[in-house]
Structure 1
Amino acid sequence: MNAFFQTGVFEIAFPLFLIMDPLGNLPVCLSMLKDFSPRRQRRILLRELLFALFITVLFMYLGAGLMNVLNIHQSTLRIAGGVILFIISMKMIFPKTDGNATEAEKDPFIVPIAVPLFAGPSLLAAVMVYGSRGDGNLTVLSGVLLAWGASVIIMLTGPALARLLGQRGLRACERLMGLILILLSVQMLEDGIAYYINHLLKP
């Protein structure tokens, strides 16, 4: 039972961690907060990550009810989530150079760090999928907290990690995550199509 629970938690936490993409978001966040001291940077990042966690958990618990109200099938959500993940992963592997991408207010509040950098459409779609599968709220919540906790550790050690890896190292980690995320997005698409065939097409 414990082994099954732990396996389910890690199966949920790993893709969520990749979607949160703390290594990819790290240089963007640091450039936004470059005018603050390292201590103030950590406080702002922790605050924004707490906002992101609250929004993610909210969608996890309300996602199934929202799907019922809007009459959205699980297959639709899984296919849509897979498409979104695929697009996000392609952007991670082939990022666009945009000089205005990191411009923000000196102290960003909720936007853009909490939303959409961490609690973006792909993450919210993923937690809605997990929450609607009936895997168990405790398992899904534990997976979310595990992925969020790992992201917090990386972000709070961001300045030191950025100096250690350098810009090239951070880009390499982001693209590696993008490659893994492509596989997960295709798997989500396959699951959505299989669910549609088995549950909606068959009488």
Structure 2
Amino acid sequence: MIREIVEIAFPLFLIMDPLGNLPVCLSMLREYSPRRQRSILFRELIIALMVIVLFIYLGAGLMKMLNIHQSTLRIAGGVILFMISIKMIYPPTDSGSNTQAEKDPLIVPIAVPLFAGPSLLAAVMVYGSKGNAGIIPLAGTLTAWIMSLGIMMVGPTLARFLGKRGLRACERLMGLILILLSVQMLEDGIKLYITNVLGH
């Protein structure tokens, strides 16, 4: 059970990408004190967790209602993860223009889509649809969320310690690992499509 939780938590933590999102979030909240920054980030992460849990338990029902096969969701999730990981390794040159936001960004863009983005929601729907969406997907999600929360809470201190280059190096390392996970998800989706869909 612990192994299954870790297998879910690790990729979700990489998709949440707290080290990559940290500089963006801090630039949005630069006018606030570190204490106020932490309170805003905590609130946004709570909102993101609520959205993620909603997709874990309603995702399977939504798939049935729309007649979407698990193979389709895994292939689509793998493609989205691959695109996200490429952006993590090769970030757009104008990424700084996206840091302009409201003084107190409620829900958008920190909770959604920085943390509870399309790739993460697709991933949790895959994990939730593998079984009856019991305690294991929820435990894996909470584990990844707690790790991300810990990094964001020490964010102001961590950003000063690592610097922009250090944060960028960590994000690119996460991107490399995420590429491998996205390809694995694509392979699983193709295998599932061949065995279940084409097999009938």
Alignment deviations for residues 127-152 of structure 1 (CA, whole Å, 9 cap, x no partner):
00000001751011000000000000
Looking at structure 2, the residues matched to 39 and 32 of structure 1 have their Cα atoms a distance apart, in angstroms, of 15
Q: Which residue of 54, 65, 72 maps to 1:69? A: 65
Amino acid at match of 1:196: Y
Task: Name the residue aligned to 2:35.
Answer: 39
Looking at structure 2, the residues matched to 114 and 167 of structure 1 have their Cα atoms a distance apart, in angstroms, of 22
Task: Name the residue aligned to 1:27.
Answer: 23
Q: Which residue of 192, 196, 203 maps to 2:193? A: 196
1:48 aligns with 2:44: yes
Looking at structure 2, the residues matched to 88 and 136 of structure 1 have their Cα atoms a distance apart, in angstroms, of 25
Q: CA RMSD in A?
A: 0.8
Looking at structure 1, the residues matched to 132 and 162 of structure 2 have their Cα atoms a distance apart, in angstroms, of 37
For residues 62-101 of structure 1, the aligned pairs below 5 Å read 62-98=58-94, 99-101=96-98
Question: Is residue 53–residue 138 contact of structure 2 (8 Å, CA) maintained in 1?
Answer: yes
Looking at structure 1, the residues matched to 35 and 109 of structure 2 have their Cα atoms a distance apart, in angstroms, of 20
Using the TM superposition, give the Cα deviation of residue 196 of structure 1 relative to its aligned residue in structure 2, in angstroms. Answer: 0.3
Q: Which residue of 158, 171, 176 maps to 2:173? A: 176
Secondary structure in 1 matching 2:99: coil
Task: Name the residue aligned to 1:14.
Answer: 10
Amino acid at match of 1:149: I
Structure 2, unpaired ranges of 5+: none
Task: Name the residue aligned to 1:139.
Answer: 136
Question: Is residue 60–residue 128 contact of structure 2 (8 Å, CA) maintained in 1?
Answer: yes
Using the TM superposition, give the Cα deviation of residue 33 of structure 1 relative to its aligned residue in structure 2, in angstroms. Answer: 0.2
With the length of structure 2 as denominator, give the TM-score of the two structures: 0.98
1:155 aligns with 2:160: no
Q: Which residue of 167, 175, 183 maps to 2:164? A: 167
Q: Which residue of 116, 120, 131 maps to 1:119? A: 116
With the length of structure 1 as denominator, give the TM-score of the two structures: 0.97
Structure 1, unpaired ranges of 5+: none
Number of matched pairs: 199
Amino acid at match of 1:188: M
Give every structure 1 segment of 4 or more consecutive aligned residues whose post-TM-superposition deviation is greater than 6 Å. none
User: Structure 1's 194 and 55: CA in aligned 2 closer, same or farther, altered over 3 A?
Assistant: same
Secondary structure in 2 matching 1:194: helix
Percent identical residues? 73
